[in-house]
Amino acid sequence: MHVLSLFLSAIFFFLFLTSTISKPTTSQSRPPPALRRLHHRDLSVDYYSKKCPQLENLVGSITSQRFKEVPISAPATIRLFFHDCFVEGCDGSILIETKKGSKKLAERDAYENKELREEGFESIIKAKALVESHCPSLVSCSDILAIAARDFIHLAGGPYYQVKKGRWDGKRSTATNVSPNIPRSNSTVDQLIKLFASKGLTVEELVVLSGSHTIGFAHCKNFVGRLYNFKGTKLPDPTLDPRLLKELRMSCPFSGGSSGVILPLDATTPFVFDNGYFTGLGSKMGLLESDQAIFLDPRTKPIALEMAKDKQRFLKAFGEAMDKMGSIGVKKGKKHGEIRTDCRVFL
């Protein structure tokens, strides 16, 4: 069946589900000093080999159960990891809940994080509770999040890569830090490259990590502008397939009636981690403006084409990029971090 036909037939199936996976991104320069507290070499695969040797099995028992019972947990948790690492580094700060009555909001309550799914948070809370029952006060929430994200990627058909561990949980979580560090659904390639350069990630890693949109969903509000008033022209985005445009307009009216509607970022295989996202871009089926822009810019298009042609190349590159992203801004030691017993509150 033609890719577009698969996309269109899947649209209605996914109405009123819920959304996940936002954009990763990448860059070329070194991370700023605030993010360089701990280098990649300070993390290790066997960090808990003596303190909690059963760690990965414990987390794995939760992720495998959640994947079977609540499959939306996969893209939800992967998205959590991206949103955690891009704000303050991979330190579990996204998991902190705002104190009742406090005017100072935590990261998870920032506007840009409002669409993060509870299933992602629940997966980490459950995994942390199980780990605490076996290895009390030894394993950070940030390491559990990194392991769980890898598990869900692999369960969905993606690569299995070794997760380096040794992160401590951060001591602050502030909503105002989120906006400058999270990509938008209409971000330009220039903006994406600049943002991801600030995290020490390359242009190729930007493209590869964007492939996480091979699973997950987006609310109408994140792309409705493309359907009716692209860049203020009062016309639809010309880079969107006309037949797809017609179907999307049926699901997402110009105003009202679509607040709960979500659609798959890769409708052909929305729960399978493959390179379908990239083949969709080649058919003008990128749901988000920023996704389709990757296929239009001469700096990123050749990489997207390569990933579309070679699934194994993409999976290998994605595992390597996730490993690198997982070292952004990690903390170690009591001066910079802590080992939380409850991922939702500071010690």
Nearest Cα to Cα of residue 76 among 125, 123, 141, 109? 123
pLDDT at 69 over 60: yes
Distances (CA, A) of 80 to 116, 142, 228: 7, 11, 30
Q: Mutual orientation of helices 289-296 and 203-210 as an angle, nearest 10°? A: 130
Q: Which of 2, 39, 40, 83 is catalytic?
A: 83
**Per-residue tokens: 40:** 């990649």
Question: Predicted confidence band at 37 (pLDDT cuts at 50, 70, 90)?
Answer: very low
pLDDT tens digits, 268-303: 888 899 999 999 999 999 999 999 999 999 999 999
Rounded mean pLDDT of the chain?
89
Domain ranges of the chain: 54-216+265-326
Considering only residues 259 and 220, tell me which one the structure prediction assigns the higher pLDDT: 220
Quickly state the pLDDT bin for 148 (edges 50, 70, 90). Answer: very high
Query: Mean pLDDT over residues 322-343, rounded?
Result: 96
The SS3 call for residue 345 is: coil
Categorize the per-residue pLDDT at 1 as very low, low, confident or very high, splitting at 50, 70 and 90: very low
Each residue of 252-265: pLDDT tens digit? Answer: 998 876 777 889 99
Known active-site residue 154 = no
Residues making up the annotated binding site for heme b are 213
Structure tokens at 12: 């209605």
pLDDT of residue 174: 97
User: What is the pLDDT, as a whole number, of residue 21?
Assistant: 37
Annotation: binding site: 84, 87, 89, 91, 93, 107, 183, 213-214, 266, 269, 274
Residue 168, φ and ψ in degrees, nearest 5: -105, 160
Give me the mean pLDDT over the 229-246 stretch. Answer: 93
Instruction: Indicate if the pLDDT at residue 19 is higher than 50.
Output: no
Give the separation between CA 330 and CA 277, rounded to whole angstroms.
29
Residue type, 323: D
Residue 56, pLDDT > 70, answer yes
pLDDT value, residue 25: 38
- CATH architecture type of domain 54-216+265-326: Orthogonal Bundle (1.10)
pLDDT at 24 over 80: no
Q: What is the model's pLDDT at position 40?
A: 52
Please say if the pLDDT value at position 27 is more than 80.
Answer: no
Give the separation between CA 285 and CA 72, rounded to whole angstroms: 22
Residue 12, Cβ density class (10 Å: 0-12 exposed, 13-18 middle, ≥19 buried)? exposed
Residues placed in the known binding site for substrate: 183
Reduced to 3 DSSP states, what percent helix, strand and coil does the chain have, rounded to the nearest 5? Answer: 50, 5, 45
Contacts of 122 (CB under 8 A, 6+ apart): 66, 73
Q: Residue 254's pLDDT is what? A: 86
- Give the annotated binding-site residues for Ca(2+): 84, 87, 89, 91, 93, 107, 214, 266, 269, 274
State the pLDDT at residue 261.
86
**pLDDT higher than threshold 60 for residue 168:** yes
The pLDDT of residue 257 is 65
